[in-house]
Amino acid sequence: MISPLPSLHLLLEKDDLAPDLQRAAQYIDAHLDDSLTIGDAAAAAGVAGRTLHKHFHDEHGTSPMRYVRDCRFTQVRQALLQAGPQDSVTTIAVHWGFCHLGRFSVEYRKRYGETPSETLRRQRTTSPLRSHAKRGVSKGGQHQDWFPSFETPCCARLLRMR
């Protein structure tokens, strides 16, 4: 079983954390696979975008959108490590909001020391065949079958190019 996003739960467990930061982090967790903006997170937190940015920087050492990106990379890594035979790097990356696959691959390699395809290849050679159902991590950290939604504009463009 995959544990929920460690960085998010570390952030949410702080007792002295500003309530608006907790609301923003909960909103981000619930909408991680949606198109998110700083305005969305700020509205959910009930503060201005600049205030949210300051609180994130003060408490977590990063911006809200960098935090979203970090959480999404964690989810992609977990999905690649649990990928089924029909899963691809492209499908998984696009599902979590990465539409520029070249930039995604470069950043993934910087973070994890291997390319996404190397992670997928290594996972497939070290684990028994999995079911054809795609497995992912839900918003609450529980396993679920997932079928990517290609409703975001960048994802729709990516699919038209194929």
Report yes or no on 104 lying in a domain. Answer: yes
Q: Give the model confidence (pLDDT) of 100-151 as tens digits.
A: 999 999 999 999 999 999 999 988 887 655 444 444 444 444 444 444 444 4
Inform me whether the pLDDT recorded for 59 exceeds 90: no
Q: Provide the number of structural domains found in the chain.
A: 2
Q: What is the largest CA-CA distance in the chain?
A: 49
Among positive and negative, which fits the CA dihedral 76, 145, 142, 85? negative
How many CA within 13 A on the CB side of residue 11? 30
Run of H or E residues at 143: strand 143-145
Please name every residue paired with 131 in a beta bridge, in sequence order, or none if there are none.
Answer: none
**Phi, psi of 51, rounded to the nearest 5 degrees:** -65, -45
On whether the pTM is more than 0.95, the answer is no
For residue range 76-87, what is the model confidence (pLDDT) as tens digits?
Answer: 999 999 998 899
CATH of the domain at 136: 1.10.10
116: containing domain: 70-161
**Claim to verify: residue 153 and residue 88 sit in the same structural domain:** yes
pLDDT digits (tens, 9 = 90+) for 139-161: 444 444 444 444 444 444 334 43
Q: Are residues 141 and 74 in the same domain?
A: yes
| CB-based contacts of 161, cutoff 8 Å, min separation 6 | none
Q: What is the pLDDT of residue 127?
A: 64
